Amino acid sequence: MKGFYFKGMAAGIKKDGKKDLGLIFSARPASAAALFTKNSVVAAPVIIGRDKIRSGLCQAVVVNSGNANCFTGDRGINDTERIAALAAKELKIPESLIMVSSTGVIGAPLPMERFIEAMPELTRRLTHEEESASDHMDDFARAILTTDLRVKVIQKECAIRGEKFTIAGIAKGSGMIRPNMATMLAFICTDIDIPATLLKSSLKIACDRSFNRISVDGDTSTNDMILAMANGMSGTVLEESDDAIEFQNILDEVMLGLARMVVMDGEGATKLVKIEVKGARSPEDAYMAADAIAHSNLVKTAIYGEDPNWGRITAAAGRSGAEVVQDKMDLYFGDTALVKQGVWQGQDAEKRAAEIMKAHELGIVLDLNLGHFSDFYIFCDFSENYVKINADYRS
């Protein structure tokens, strides 16, 4: 990928000595767009970032893990601005072109001495000729993790009208995941040439089709941010409406792939589940039913126990606010019907469903048979490990 450089290092922000400070740098200012948490309680980088991104330009982003810089008052705001100033000095670019993002524990002030000590090393030799843009992508991906067990990186070589470009996505997230754009961060970098206004609308559409359709535990974090940067250095330019549609499809694919990785790496998760609600009277009804099922603790624990307790799913749909008619509902686990026209299909059907539930991925379809609208959610199960991870998180 032309003109993007990545770095990740251990700066001593985390107690365990793991990588905790990352940088993405573009060789020239990039068109940029971002989406942020809709939580009313927000971290200092979100407050600053919402204002900065209005310019539609960004050249670098500094990200730390281990500390959310949230509920830190004026000091948190000043620290965020100081991090950007430190990076600007080393990178020799305007502070206005640097975004800052944080993730970790809420309440404690940032250990600024760690940033001051680390910034020269973080920014050193970013554009060395012998290193490609992706050489340190995994290092950056590791530096932004908290309770995550896996890095989440996707890179694709693409073409529009035969003109080649590259797009890469990096995400972190494992708990506090119900993006409302949960400690979830995502960064999309591409060397295509696209206006910031089109990039923003494309990002919003892709987010609604991906990160806004996943859940681990139903919590929305204070620090969520998705940042997209396009520096145009491939020479490929979006020129026609058909180009924008093709780019949208590519962006959708990358972001949905990252979103699935977040769910698969959910805290304590053992299974990934897609619930699709079909035959709804309205788009709102399809969404409400899928959302209620995905966030039902009874559904999530039954899936962990590999128990095809279908009554929990139909009950969740019934309380969702969506219009449902009990005698018209069909419910499938994979290709096995557990309910047809509101009638349970018996023990043999449940036994087949229980076998299907042994897989790491499960597809559930609820057909309301009332209309033509559908929607989906991707979620995970609840295990004992989720409780253990979050009971010990601050220790």
d(CA 311, CA 331): 10
Residues 135, 190, 155, 259: what is their CA dihedral angle, to the nearest 10 degrees? 120
What is d(CA 22, CA 146) in angstroms, rounded to the nearest whole number? 13
- The catalytic residue positions are 183
